[in-house]
């Protein structure tokens, strides 16, 4: 059990120093971050805070790589994952200002091969629909094409995939977070501008506002000496992971950035698209900024007494809500071993960004740290966010571990006496994910994906007509069930899948797969 007494004294001292809209000192932020890192076992963190157009805190903590013991600083680059989405929306806003597109343009007018799950949605799907998570499709649908990294799916594959997905809600009626449609937005940016999404963002956003050491793609980073490595935790020990390979484009999650440069990005946002000593220059107009910070898709507001929130929703690349009468603009990002959060409070003219390089603890660090800093600016008494989120993490981990352990205990005890592997061996095909093979390998049943090479692993009989797959890929916990559909003779005709752990990342959307067995030549 962790000793929270030092943290309690820290919070008590903070409560004596903080009055309404009085920020935490550098020393207090240092203590807060270090306590969070220790509690959640995180290798490295970087934090920046801006206020009234000035950077008042920009600092790194811990290590870029736990093995090399290289320290994080304010210029250390992290994968910011879905915090890239706001850049994708800003890129399109620039094209709107240039009168090359309108937000209400139909996607098919710019990408004729784009095809959704029915003709009405295809014909009416506009550019803003790409950005607002209201397509009618389910949470993270199709992410297995890009997650984990290393697949061979192309933009052509992605554009043809949407017609095969089954909607979970009516078009434009419900929020379900999506990544693939942001990749389509990146493709649209490229087709309209005549340059890659990465080059467009670099030339139209990065260079004008002075972002000099962040990158729109890992391949653009020639000197990687100040790049943070992703990490995970295995049996309580930190383990460095390889860098995440690039997606089809960077619009959903491709940017690598540091807190020093992201401070300039936060300033641009707070200044409604303007920059320069006298705000004489403009990246995007105030009108487009208002469009990005307008709720397009409603969410349920968590009306906590502490924050007295009344509304919540998603704009264009940003989550929006009110906290104690202040507008709260934010986004998070997550890739294996890389987790980040940006929060802007325009009424206080302040912002904070937290970058981390460890999963799962990074998500709890960025929430605890941003909450504490924002609370100070809006005049709230300190709260022990670290303790609160550690309780939540331990409860979640305990529940997940018990379920996963029970599955593998069942596997150990399973009766395989009448199991005939031949009934399951074969090739299966899903309309958008492609082919997988169930085969015998060293006298073991094995699952192999043809287009997603990291999703290969041994199949262990579980019960009835289902198997538990232990992936060779273990950077994230994503082991899955394969549940076979059998004919009257006990021969497999198809299979469905689902994650084993209840807290599996939503991008492992196994439940969206529906494989049908392809008859072998002998069977035809």
Q: How does pLDDT run across 84-110, given as a tens digit for each residue?
A: 999 999 999 999 999 999 999 999 999
pTM of the model: 0.94
Kind and range of the H or E run holding 483: strand 480-486
Task: Decide the pairing of beta strands 358-359 and 231-234.
Answer: parallel
Residue the block writes with tokens 């507008």: 327
Backbone Cα Rg of the chain: 24
Closest of 43, 38, 45, 29 to residue 356, by C-alpha: 45
Residue 21: the pLDDT is 57
Residue 3: the pLDDT is 36
The phi, psi pair for 6, rounded to 5°, reads -60, -40
Closest of 510, 493, 514 to residue 501, by C-alpha: 510
- Angle at CA of residue 412, ends 406 and 413, nearest 5°: 90
Q: How far is Cα 265 from Cα 508, in angstroms, rounded to an integer?
A: 31
Residue 417: the pLDDT is 86
Which portions of the chain are predicted below pLDDT 70? Answer: 1-22, 521-524
Contact (Cβ atoms closer than 8 angstroms) between residue 518 and residue 429: yes
Residue 519: the pLDDT is 86
Residue 523: the pLDDT is 54
Question: What digits encode the pLDDT tens for the residues 403-417?
Answer: 999 999 999 999 888
* 453-470: b (≥16 Cβ within 10 Å) or e: ebbbbbbbbbeebbbbbe
Q: How far is Cα 78 from Cα 82, in angstroms, rounded to an integer?
A: 12
Q: Which domains does the chain have, with CATH numbers?
A: 5-136+171-382 (3.40.710.10), 413-518 (2.40.128.50)
């Amino acid at each position: 059990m962790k000793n929270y007494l030092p943290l309690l004294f820290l919070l008590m001292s903070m409560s004596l120093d903080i009055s309404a809209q009085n920020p935490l000192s550098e020393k207090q932020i240092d203590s807060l971050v270090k306590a969070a890192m220790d509690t959640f076992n995180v290798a490295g963190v970087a934090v920046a805070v801006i206020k009234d157009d000035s950077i008042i805190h920009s600092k790194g903590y811990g290590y870029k790589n736990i093995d090399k013991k290289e320290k994080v600083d304010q210029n250390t680059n992290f994968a910011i994952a879905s915090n890239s989405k706001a850049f994708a929306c800003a890129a399109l806003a620039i094209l709107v200002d240039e009168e090359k597109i309108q937000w209400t343009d139909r996607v098919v007018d710019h990408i004729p091969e784009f095809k959704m799950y029915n003709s009405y949605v295809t014909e009416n799907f506009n550019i803003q629909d790409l950005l607002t998570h209201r397509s009618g499709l389910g949470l993270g649908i199709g992410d297995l094409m890009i997650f984990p990294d290393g697949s061979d799916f192309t933009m052509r594959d992605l554009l043809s995939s949407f017609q095969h997905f089954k909607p979970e809600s009516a078009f434009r009626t419900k929020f379900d977070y999506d990544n693939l449609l942001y990749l389509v937005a990146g493709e649209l940016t490229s087709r309209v501008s005549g340059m890659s999404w990465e080059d467009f963002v670099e030339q139209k956003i990065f260079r004008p506002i002075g972002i000099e050491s962040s990158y729109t793609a890992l391949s653009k980073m020639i000197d990687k000496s100040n790049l943070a490595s992703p990490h995970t935790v295995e049996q309580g020990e930190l383990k460095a992971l390889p860098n995440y390979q690039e997606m089809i484009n960077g619009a959903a999650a491709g940017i690598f950035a540091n807190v020093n440069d992201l401070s300039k990005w936060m300033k641009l946002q707070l200044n409604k698209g303007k920059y320069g000593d006298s705000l004489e220059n403009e990246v995007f107009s105030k009108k487009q900024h208002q469009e990005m910070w307008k709720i397009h898709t409603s969410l349920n507001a968590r009306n906590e007494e502490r924050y007295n929130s009344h509304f919540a929703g998603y704009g264009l690349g940003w989550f929006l809500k009110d906290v104690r009468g202040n507008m709260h603009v934010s986004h998070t990002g997550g890739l294996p071993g890389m987790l980040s959060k940006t929060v802007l409070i325009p009424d206080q003219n302040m912002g904070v960004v937290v970058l981390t390089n460890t999963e799962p603890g990074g998500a709890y660090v960025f929430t605890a740290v941003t909450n504490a800093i924002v609370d100070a600016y809006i005049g709230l008494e300190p709260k022990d966010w670290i303790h609160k989120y550690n309780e939540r993490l331990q409860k979640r981990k305990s529940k997940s571990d018990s379920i996963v352990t029970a599955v593998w205990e069942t596997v150990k005890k399973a009766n395989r006496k009448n199991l005939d592997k031949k009934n399951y061996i074969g090739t299966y095909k899903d309309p958008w994910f492609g082919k997988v093979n169930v085969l015998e390998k060293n006298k073991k049943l094995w699952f192999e994906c043809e287009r997603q090479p990291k999703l290969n692993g041994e199949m262990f009989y579980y019960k009835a007509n289902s198997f538990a797959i232990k992936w060779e890929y273990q950077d994230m916990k994503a082991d899955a069930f394969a549940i076979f559909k059998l004919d009257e003779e006990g021969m497999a005709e198809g299979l469905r899948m689902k994650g084993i752990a209840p807290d599996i990342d939503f991008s492992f959307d196994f439940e969206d797969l529906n494989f049908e067995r392809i008859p072998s030549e002998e069977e035809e």
